[in-house]
Structure 1
Amino acid sequence: MVKSIVSAVLEKLGSLITIPEEIKQNVELALALEEEIGKLSVHFQDIQSVLQDAESKQVKDGNVRNWLKKLKDVAYDVEDVLDEWKSAKLKPQIEKEVKEIGNFPLFKKIRRSISSLTFQTMLHYNIASKIKYINQQLDCIAEEKDRYKFGLHKDVEESQRVITASFIDEEEVYGRFEETTVLVNKMVGENSSGGSSLDVISIVGMGGIGKTTLAQLVYNHNDVECHFDKRIWICVSDPFDDIRIAKEILEAFKGESSKLVGKDNILQEVRSHVLGKKMLIVLDDVWTEDATKWEQLKNSLKYCSLGSRILITTRKEKVAIIMGTMPSNSFLLHTLSQEECWSLLSHKAFSGRTREESENLEDIGWKIAKKCQGLPLAASILGGLLQFKRTREQWQRVLDSEIWDIEEAERNIFPPLSLSYYELPLALKQCISYCAVFSKDMIISKDELIKLWMAQDYLKGVRGEEMEIVGEEYFDELKMRSFFEVFKRDELDSGIMKYKMHDLVHDFLQVLMDTECSMIVNDGFEELKVDSSCERVRHATLNRKQATPTEPNIYHFKKLRSLLIDSSYHDTSSLSPYLPKLFDQLTCLRTLNLTNSLFGNSVEELPDEIGKLVHLRYLNLKNNRKLKELPESLCELCNLQTLNLKWCDSLKELPSGIGKIINLRHLENERTDLSLMAMPKGIGRLTNLQTLSVFVVTDNSNASTIGDLQMLKHLRGHLKISGLGAVCDLAEAKKAEIRKKEGLRTLILDFAIPKGLMSESLLRTNNGDLLEALEPPPCLEKLEIWCYRGLTIFPNWMMGLTKLSHVSLGSCLHLNSLPPLGKLSFLESLYIGEMRRVKEVEVEFLGVDREETSAVPSSSESPSSSNIAFPNLKHLEFFDLKEWESWMPLTTTEEEHISVMPQLRSLTIGSCPKLRELPCYILQNTSLKQLDISQSPILSGRCRKETGEYWLKISHIHSITIDGLCIQANSSSVEEFGLFINFGIFPQSLRTKLMGGTGIRGKVIWDDAIGKKEGD
């Protein structure tokens, strides 16, 4: 960590610091700055050369460890000074550009009585003074360095890796029965590598999770032993020595060490021995990501018999891929269950005890087993430790201890985790170490974590890549090295969204970060303990267990760079009185998270002192639902990259000077369109914006127009444009150039007319031309259109959206018929709601050509691709079609030649009181697994069990729910498809709360009140 910070400082010293022209006129000041900067660079270059040796020695030498802490503190201080200088140079440039822009609104700002030149001179004197003081500290650190006699290179130390063998006592293993069965079947089953004689199978998981144990169980399984002609176990470790591995293979065949020399000779000999033999080779503990070290050895093994296997254990998914593992053969190993963990621990801990003794200690033992968090290594070590502790008091002390305070645990669990950490590149060490600031068991959002890394300046593109792309690569690399584990998947996107760290990995990181990352607990009654260590805390989570209005008392942590407020036990309103002082004191903050609980009392006003946080890059105000405005001083934060305003749904306006925050990349403002009246005029200056969740359109001449979106060329992800009903200027809409924003994946077009602008002329406006002008990029995946007043809703550009998989059409009150959406071949999910004039869903809705169908000569021919309606549709929902009476069926001829919704899995119909029937292509659809009908009495009656005439036709459907009552749920379908809830049957006031998160889970949940879909 120290090495990476020092490297960052040297980089900034080389690229950011130039003496401005106006300062060069002051020769004395210019010379002083140049001298101090030069001295600073020399100090850090001198220290950097010995850091590798110093960091290796800190493990055993406490004095070296303290020296590195001092160095790290000074390096942080230098970063703060350089950042302050950079910001001070940037602000005048921004002010100048703002003045040059015509009709730009006036800003509220403090008038200075001194000239700009005088102010800049004073600023640089201040900078020079700070750098001089830091150099004095570095003088002392450099003197100490010389006492330790560090070398220029790290001393070679004995490897901490344990050499493994194939032997195992199966009576000492608990759990892993299912995993063993699966892997044994892969060992003795048919090849899955497309005809290759050699299948590669990988066991992937974090250190201490039991990869080697599982490989030993498989290796020694009777079926495996009988299946292979030859089994060979090799502990690979690091470095990957292909010659040593080849010689061990030869030794296994010949029974003696190979005396051959020369790589080619050795590999030729390997080839001759494996020829025609069915082999199992286990390569345990593989680390290398260099494919060239493996390829030649693998080629010599290809001559073995069909059905041969290579079994790899590794901590890295990337290694499994490089070694040639097919996705189906990569086995991600998870932790033990609590019961299995307890069995393993108790087997060791109760060895030699009487039954009475064991029963007396069992309750404490269970709690200790939970501390192991399913990690077999931890359970085994703690079980062995407890075996020699006889009393409840001794067991209680183990339970009350942090796991790293237990000598046996530190000696045996620490090395496997530290190996994974110390093998990381410097940049990845910084990123994963930062995660020590999170609460244990915290669910981590990948996107949010990347933004936090950005705020700390950890993400530097090597070839000019954007920080977000570098962050994606870093996160994926850490995940593939087992630092993060999957917690939750998004069903609609079929992608992994949420992650967490294993508790022991988190504990390990907290030990590494020591006082640098801190959990600050204040229960409202007990004063927060403050000591000298507060000066070293850089990242903190404030956990206030009481919502009482007591001062949080964190002002002593003056060097804080991150302050995350844990809102689990309180709301942010109790902090409001102390925010001015907090912002006044903690001026080094780069990250500030003031997220509120969704339904708690929130901050109502953000104080002007927020403008003092000149280093701030990340500000999260999510769920502060009473916040009505943001101060203009916020616009002084020229370094701000992320501003999260999600669910700040009382916010009336954004600051008029928002265009000054030129480094802003992510403006997350979902749900603010309920209250925002417009977007400020300077929004178009934020040319670095990648995230803009909501853009509000108005006819106010003092606000931004839709055409200002033209300048936001880098927008990606999700964009909602609301208030489109007020747009009359097609030229402005075309100017927005939505089509060129190729990073967009979701586009929501809301044609509702803002309150206060409602007029007869606007109500009569046909939005057809406007919709054509808002053509999205061809790579769009989700499209929602709301409150559209055109007579048709199938614009010319829609067929060009070849990746469009989700469509929602709602409150389109002028439509008499539904568009031919069946033509959208990639569509997977379709919602249609509040179409008050639609009386029939006609065959045209399917999007097939009836003339082509009637011309088909033979009924025996299968439908062509052009005659498959909705070929990929899986989820279909109709809601609140009050006048809908009939769903038109196909004619007999059409049924023979048209395939309709062949992949449909779920159909939901709600609040369609006049609907009488369902077409045969729905009733007879064998792919349909889930049917939900509510507030549609005629249709509900026809679908009821036994009494309805449709029952025999729909009884094949696994899950059927009528008006909230599940009348059929096969056990298999409940597991596969979960619960389907239509929140439209609830009052609107309750719907939003339910969607806020109550533990209800379902594959697809639609909340009509807020237009939102949720997955598992």
Structure 2
Amino acid sequence: MASMFQSLLDRTAKLPATLHQLFSRSPATSAASSAYSHFVSDLEKLRRRMERIQAFLEDAEEREIRERSIMLWLDELRDVAYDCEDVLDEVEYELQWYQLACQEEEHTPSSPEKKRIKRKREVSDSDATPRCPPLHDASFQLQITAKIKDINDRFEEIHRDGLALKLHEDHGQRHSSDSLSDPPLRMPTSCLVDEQAVRGRDHDKRKVMDMLLSDDGRHCKENVGVVSIVGMGGLGKTTLAQVVYNDIQVKNHFPTRMWVCVSDSFDVVRLTKEILQTLTGRSSDQVQGSNNFSSLQERLRQNLQGKRFFLVLDDVWNENQGYWEALWLCLSSGAEGSRVLITTRNEMVSRTSFVSEANMHRLSCLSDQDAWSLFEQRAFSGRNSSNYPELVLIGKKIVQRCKGLPLTVKTLAGLLFCEFSEDRWDDILRSDLWDLAEGKDQILPALKLSYRHLPSPIKLCFVYCAVFPKDYEFKRDQLVKMWMAHGYTIPTATRCMEDVGRGYFDNLLQRSFFQKYYGDYFVMHDLIHDLALSLGKGECCEVVDDKLSSIGRARHLFLKCWEDVTTCLSCGGPTGELLRLRTWYLRWQWRESRDVVEPVENMFGTMKCLRVLYLGGARIRELPDSVGNLKHLRYLAIDIKDCCRLPESLGNIINLQTLQLFNARHMLELPKSIKYLVNLRHLEMCAFSPPSTMSRDVFRLQLQMMPRGIGRLTQLRTLPLFVVGE
């Protein structure tokens, strides 16, 4: 939410100067000039009000997990922010058309009749005459000004509500009544473990111990070798480290062993004190008598001199290599063969702490058999499960829902401890995990801690991933293009938006939000998906049991088959809540594509907020002219089997960044208006259906020539072929 707000602020700050430059170049009527002045004034008010609200966001996002009133406040804020984005997009859309009109004049100076761009603002049978951009039109300006005034009023009300909720501007600050009741996000850990309760980690234990006891010195920092255990929250990284720490072979190999729970704050002074306390056996008061970091470093260095030690740093989040350097200055005095074991959710933490790829152990989920063994041990409390065959059947279904995540297995098994009622077990099986008190108090905070540590721009990208259903296999580049379409990947001076998006994707992969599936496909663990879904507050929905899973706040819709489209249109559209949709994703399925005209045409005519439209499961023999109404669209993927041409109205979608055409082997020519798609970055044409690739079947395309003016598409990065006409 914070990054979305920052993007809106940046746009409202830049827009007045751009508009001033526009109006200074072209004379306008007095009415238009007056409306323009009011518009710019309202934009400035909008920016100031958004800045005041932005100051509350960090506090609000911290408190929403515990306070329903804050959650509702953020929901309302998100709705207004979306409306604000739509209005800014509308103004920028018209501004781009004006700039295109100026460029058109430069390209055709000798033909007065060509000095304006021929485009259709609203395409219908009765209105086929193109009109010029209406930026100088007073009625258009008044319409936009009215919308911004309404948004201003709503933001002002939200700001007043934020003050009433005692939201604070300082990050981490809490109202006194809240701070006393806030539970810690994670309990501190120790080296103690009940090894009899651990299941399915023998292989992992052997691999980590091999890394620790090896003498080959792979990527050691001075005398100290560094090993890491990496994985998503709840996998049992700490448990594995505890088992290794207490192994008799490790005890014999390392005369000096130390355990420190690092958690959120990588405070080098605090860590040095805690290591000293563990090492010397002194009380915390004695060790903490000195706060001079230099003297603490020297004391630790002297105490480790010549000793072969084993140090566990549990639950590490720090990515700042400078902090690690300061700590290694103390540790490097240890004897050769000393080892540090780090547990973390983020691969980047391992790399910045000098862990080589060979010494990084990626922890996986438990097998079904091991997960059941863990569940059985805790739920049946030593009783023989064979005496409860009905409960065993239900229990194994519960375990399947956990997808091998030990934290979830233990939590749900704990709920059923000494419970032998089939109804109770069935209730747990059918309940949504987040509806259970234990899910909110134990599992959700553990997973949300990973989300909390994400950089702000990546949070939006992660939450958007809930648009895909559970177990959906997705590709990196496609997801990045969808992020781009929603404005989540802001380019920098040195990196284009694709590179920014790939960086965000890799960041989520390194932090275990994504898992490698096969080839170039990725998936999300069910609980990670549930986390994204819960953070999205109903914005992502799908059809489940012939009903929409969420409709009131739906912004992103996933449809598995064409029957879902029928259900969707009957439930919420095209005149209902679905008019606010920003993503419409109809999954392609083998042999299930349908020939559709009327439903798609209705969609194009009404769902004008769409940014992403993926119609892989709808075979379109003739793309209707009404596609030109989707002026906010950035990503369009369609199956155009047997379609020879695309309508000229496609050129109206000047915001379009990605155009994917499947089954395009009969396409003879692209529309002449494609030269106006100045933001187009990827033009992808496949002769067959997905997952067909351009490189495989590009020579089966029958394009006869490229349209004139395609050279104006200077943003283009993907083009399957270039055909020169006769």
Alignment match of 1:519 (pick from 532, 542, 559): 542
1:573 and 1:604 in contact (8 A); partners too? no
Change (3 A) 1:320 1:384: same
Aligned residue in 1 for 2:123: none
Alignment match of 1:500 (pick from 508, 523, 535): 523
Aligned residue in 2 for 1:162: 187
**Is residue 2:457 matched to residue 1:440?**
no
2:543 and 2:564 in contact (8 A); partners too? no
Alignment match of 2:55 (pick from 49, 58, 77): 49
Alignment match of 1:174 (pick from 180, 199, 205): 199
Aligned residue in 2 for 1:335: 365
Bigger mean CA offset, 604-613 vs 343-352? 343-352
Aligned residue in 2 for 1:309: 339
Alignment match of 2:253 (pick from 211, 214, 227): 227
**Is residue 2:148 matched to residue 1:122?**
no
Partner Cα separation in structure 1 for residue 604 and residue 119 of structure 2: 19
Alignment match of 1:546 (pick from 540, 559, 563): 563
Aligned residue in 2 for 1:131: 148
Name the SS for the 1:692 alignment partner: coil
CA apart distance, 1:577: 2.4
Alignment match of 2:78 (pick from 46, 56, 72): 72
CA apart distance, 1:50: 2.2
In the TM superposition, 1:908-927 aligns within 5 A as none
CA deviation vs aligned residue, 1:598-617 (integer Å, no higher than 9, x gap): xxx72212111110000000
CA apart distance, 1:360: 2.1
CA deviation vs aligned residue, 1:920-959 (integer Å, no higher than 9, x gap): xxxxxxxxxxxxxxxxxxxxxxxxxxxxxxxxxxxxxxxx
1:6 and 1:75 in contact (8 A); partners too? yes
Aligned residue in 1 for 2:483: 453
Name the SS for the 1:409 alignment partner: helix
Partner Cα separation in structure 1 for residue 565 and residue 130 of structure 2: 43
Alignment match of 2:713 (pick from 671, 686, 694): 686
Aligned residue in 2 for 1:948: none
CA apart distance, 1:551: 7.1
Aligned residue in 2 for 1:30: 36
CA apart distance, 1:150: 2.3
Higher relative contact order (CA 8 A, sep 6+): 2
1:563 and 1:592 in contact (8 A); partners too? yes
2:596 and 2:619 in contact (8 A); partners too? no
Specify the code of the residue in structure 2 equivalent to 1:128.
T
Aligned residue in 2 for 1:645: 661
**Is residue 2:627 matched to residue 1:610?**
yes
1:549 and 1:575 in contact (8 A); partners too? no
Change (3 A) 1:173 1:550: closer
Name the SS for the 1:643 alignment partner: strand
Aligned residue in 2 for 1:186: 211
CA apart distance, 1:15: 0.8
Name the SS for the 2:623 alignment partner: coil
CA apart distance, 1:118: 8.6
Specify the code of the residue in structure 2 equivalent to 1:175.
G
Name the SS for the 1:694 alignment partner: coil
Aligned residue in 2 for 1:262: 292
Partner Cα separation in structure 1 for residue 562 and residue 159 of structure 2: 44
CA apart distance, 1:179: 0.9
Partner Cα separation in structure 1 for residue 6 and residue 517 of structure 2: 35
1:348 and 1:387 in contact (8 A); partners too? yes
Aligned residue in 1 for 2:671: 655
Alignment match of 1:97 (pick from 103, 128, 143): 103
CA deviation vs aligned residue, 1:821-840 (integer Å, no higher than 9, x gap): xxxxxxxxxxxxxxxxxxxx
Alignment match of 2:504 (pick from 465, 469, 474): 474
CA apart distance, 1:28: 2.7
TM superposition score normalised by structure 1: 0.64
- The structure carrying a bigger helix percent of its residues is 2
Bigger mean CA offset, 182-191 vs 87-96? 87-96
Aligned residue in 2 for 1:805: none
CA deviation vs aligned residue, 1:576-609 (integer Å, no higher than 9, x gap): 320111111110001111113xxxx722121111
Kindly tell me the number of residue pairs found equivalent between the two proteins: 680
CA apart distance, 1:381: 0.9
1:168 and 1:217 in contact (8 A); partners too? yes
Specify the code of the residue in structure 1 equivalent to 2:194.
D
Bigger mean CA offset, 234-243 vs 257-266? 257-266
2:63 and 2:70 in contact (8 A); partners too? yes
Aligned residue in 1 for 2:3: 4
Change (3 A) 1:440 1:574: farther
In the TM superposition, 1:273-352 aligns within 5 A as 273-352=303-382
Change (3 A) 1:41 1:249: closer
Partner Cα separation in structure 2 for residue 504 and residue 113 of structure 1: 51
TM superposition score normalised by structure 2: 0.88
CA apart distance, 1:313: 0.4
Alignment match of 1:590 (pick from 611, 614, 639): 611
CA apart distance, 1:400: 1.3
2:12 and 2:44 in contact (8 A); partners too? no
1:638 and 1:661 in contact (8 A); partners too? yes
Partner Cα separation in structure 2 for residue 595 and residue 632 of structure 1: 22
Name the SS for the 1:9 alignment partner: helix
CA apart distance, 1:316: 0.8
Aligned residue in 2 for 1:676: 703
CA apart distance, 1:93: 2.9
2:229 and 2:344 in contact (8 A); partners too? yes
Partner Cα separation in structure 1 for residue 542 and residue 191 of structure 2: 43
Name the SS for the 1:30 alignment partner: helix
Identity %: 36
2:380 and 2:418 in contact (8 A); partners too? no
Aligned residue in 2 for 1:762: none
Unaligned runs of 5+ in 1: 490-496, 700-1016
Partner Cα separation in structure 1 for residue 441 and residue 347 of structure 2: 27
CA apart distance, 1:162: 1.8
Rg larger for: 1
Aligned residue in 2 for 1:797: none
Aligned residue in 2 for 1:16: 15
Change (3 A) 1:550 1:147: closer
